[in-house]
Structure 1
Amino acid sequence: MVSTGTEMKDPENYHKDSFVQLHNPNVATMKEDILYHFGLSTGTHDFPAMFGDVKFVCVGGTPSRMKTFSRYLAVELGLAQAGIEYSNICEATDRYAMFKVGPVLCVSHGMGIPSIAIMLHELIKLLYHARCSGITIIRIGTSGGIGLEPGSVVITQQAVDAYFKPEFEQVVLGKRVVRSTELDEQLVQELVKCSGDLNEFPVVVGNTMCTLDFYEGQGRLDGALCGYTEKEKQEYLNAAYMAGVRNIEMESSVFAAMCRVCGLRAAVVCVTLLNRLKGDQISSPHEVLTEYQQRPQRLVAYFIKKSLGMS
């Protein structure tokens, strides 16, 4: 086993003026860095001019969700103008979408660990090339709750794997690399304080279990494959609850691990669409789900406004 815990920055030493750092000496020797999945390149785009003022990055699953969030954020920050639409910076590719609203970058990441990992590699390099400093990055999304009513918002304390361990494991050159998935505790508390200010919907702090799959990996009974019983499923989900897990999704572990290694202050804020102890399928009406999905956005937007001295 290879552990890279020694290369992680101590979150307590995070400083608002610190520049984004990479843990790859090869990038500094490259004449041009092509961010292929963004459709951007240091040879054709002026990253400091385009992104140098970014202080907050919000990432979420789909392009449409992030476009909607960018519109909402523009209104909240007083940057919306009649007839002006924030364009997709990654329009040269159909892989991800990116919108910039003042000091906030909104980026889609797709579904699952591989998709968000690819996005994060290029996003972190983008921030590095732009000479950004004091970055706060937050994943906003949806999840399945454990022991929570639908519509509850979970602020992640730790991202854990399917064994309930706060670590992300990856195979690199045939060797196991294990990284910590602990998130910034101070940022968690700042978000909790903001939720209290809003007092609009239930918010809890808990562990988030990150899985490699939506069906078997999360113990669902309604997939194409299922080799376990309802009783076994309930035993596992209850064990997760006893381990502090309050929701399940598919991106938080690699998100937490990569941000921690690169010294980025990071948080995960997800709404629950159902209580997995009571079922597997999401059956709430579309308008209800839409309102649920807006809850993490409202909390994070308020946090950004407060951080900017606007609330």
Structure 2
Amino acid sequence: MNSSVRNGNSCPKESEENGNNETSETRYPDGTVKLRNPHIELMDQDILYHIALGSESHDLVEMFGDVKFVCMGGTPKRMETFAHYIMKEIGYKLPTGTTLMDISQYSYRYSMYKVGPVISVSHGMGVPSIGILLHEMIKLMYHAKAKDPIFFRIGTCGGLGLEPGTVVISDDVVDGLGNHYYSVPILGKVVKRPAKLEKKLVRELKALATQDDPYDTTTGTTMCAEDFYEGQGRIDGAFCDYTEADKQDYLENLVRQGVKNIEMEAVPFAALTHQAGIKAAIVCVTLLNRLKGDQVAAPKEVMNEYQQRPQILVARYIKKYLQTKGRLCSLDGHGSIAVKSPRRFKLVQQESQTFE
């Protein structure tokens, strides 16, 4: 196999704020998303297998054209909870007799809910899972003609020198080797895509943390591991070839490098949104201090409360944005799937159910 390396040099030219989201490479003049894949426009239909949608089976402009925020987190239950929470926070009203619907229920892979201009979707665990979802969510924004969407990852993590329950807003991301890029083997060659987050968005989120919050909110570097156990220096996996002292030395060295937390999705999230010219931020809550142990021991009710904290901060941002734009007063929903072609609609359902 050819092991040569080529750098991803098609990234949008950067501004001082870590990415100009309105470059001609990533946006049309009206602000809608432009894909960096010329093949999509030539396809009869683009089936988004893993979220059970299609460009010709569904009227994606009608369904998602008003989307401004895409919020994603690991589990379906967490993102269903966030959907109900943001619905209350922004005053979104469903028609009488209707409930929030899992739009991607036929995929059996991810769960997705839409609350006015907000999508709440699960991304699963780890680099491959979130990578697949990001490709399809970016394509969804393109097909829907959504204008300048903002992506958020709302998650959990292990803290480094931080008390459990601390909220961490990532201002930089690295992989397990300290690299600031996402390495993807493509056609036998390794492509490196810069993993960057917009600093302005980080500052805006940090400014929304208040002294009344009964927990700390901080910013810092996030390490993205490709494994839960050995990849994060745990000693409680099925295998372990290092000592407790080795682990402590490693974690303390990460702290000296400015790493505040460890999770499993930050690098592809930052790299693919940056490649697409989409503003993005990562907000996680620490479930434990890894300098003091490897296993989460907090009671379930405490864990549930911790997981609400990133949701609260992101909801503050969304609510403030909508208030500034005067959009909180017109949030009545239709709560329906818009079908363009019943035949293609059935095909997409079948493809999504059987695609491996």
Q: Common fold, TM-score beyond 0.5? A: yes
| Secondary structure at 1:138 match in 2 | strand
Asked if structure 1 preserves the Cα contact closer than 8 Å seen for 2:169 and 2:283, the reply is yes
Q: How does 1:139-178 map to 2 (within 5 A)?
A: 139-178=153-192
* 2:63 aligned residue: 50
1:194 and 2:208 aligned: yes
* 2-structure distance, mates of 1:123, 1:238: 37
Structure 2: stretches of 5+ with no match in the other structure: 329-356
Greater Rg by CA: 2
The alpha-carbon distance between structure 1 residues 198 and 133, as it changes in their structure 2 partners (threshold 3 A), is farther
State the Cα distance separating 1:43 from its structure 2 match: 1.8
* 2-structure distance, mates of 1:197, 1:74: 25
- Matched residue type, 2:8: T
Q: How does 1:262-277 map to 2 (within 5 A)?
A: 262-277=276-291
TM-score by length of 1: 0.96
* 1-structure distance, mates of 2:244, 2:310: 31
The alpha-carbon distance between structure 1 residues 308 and 198, as it changes in their structure 2 partners (threshold 3 A), is farther
| Secondary structure at 1:309 match in 2 | helix
* 2:331 aligned residue: none
* 2-structure distance, mates of 1:25, 1:176: 21
* 1-structure distance, mates of 2:97, 2:292: 45
State the Cα distance separating 1:164 from its structure 2 match: 1.9
- Matched residue type, 1:240: L
| Secondary structure at 1:195 match in 2 | coil
The alpha-carbon distance between structure 1 residues 243 and 227, as it changes in their structure 2 partners (threshold 3 A), is same
* 1-structure distance, mates of 2:58, 2:242: 52
* 1:85 aligned residue: 99
Which residue of 137, 143, 162 corresponds with 1:129?
A: 143
Q: How many residue pairs are counted as aligned between the two chains?
A: 311
- Matched residue type, 1:260: H
* 2-structure distance, mates of 1:121, 1:61: 16
Give every structure 1 segment of 4 or more consecutive aligned residues whose post-TM-superposition deviation is greater than 3 Å: 80-84, 196-200
* 2:32 aligned residue: 19
Q: 1:186-224 CA distances to partner (integer Å, 9 max, x unpaired)?
A: 100010111137634211100000011000000000000
TM-score by length of 2: 0.84
* 2-structure distance, mates of 1:260, 1:124: 11
1:292 and 2:290 aligned: no
What fraction of aligned residue pairs are identical, expressed as a percent?
50
Q: 1:253-302 CA distances to partner (integer Å, 9 max, x unpaired)?
A: 00100000000000000000000000000000000000000000000001
Q: For the aligned residues, what is the CA RMSD?
A: 1.6
Asked if structure 1 preserves the Cα contact closer than 8 Å seen for 2:19 and 2:274, the reply is no
State the Cα distance separating 1:6 from its structure 2 match: 3.7
Structure 1: stretches of 5+ with no match in the other structure: none
Asked if structure 1 preserves the Cα contact closer than 8 Å seen for 2:195 and 2:268, the reply is yes
* 1:222 aligned residue: 236
State the Cα distance separating 1:5 from its structure 2 match: 3.8
* 1:233 aligned residue: 247
Asked if structure 1 preserves the Cα contact closer than 8 Å seen for 2:12 and 2:20, the reply is no
- Matched residue type, 2:314: V
The alpha-carbon distance between structure 1 residues 50 and 198, as it changes in their structure 2 partners (threshold 3 A), is farther
* 2-structure distance, mates of 1:240, 1:8: 30
* 1:7 aligned residue: 11
Q: 1:96-120 CA distances to partner (integer Å, 9 max, x unpaired)?
A: 0110001001111000000011111
Asked if structure 2 preserves the Cα contact closer than 8 Å seen for 1:198 and 1:299, the reply is no
1:68 and 2:81 aligned: yes
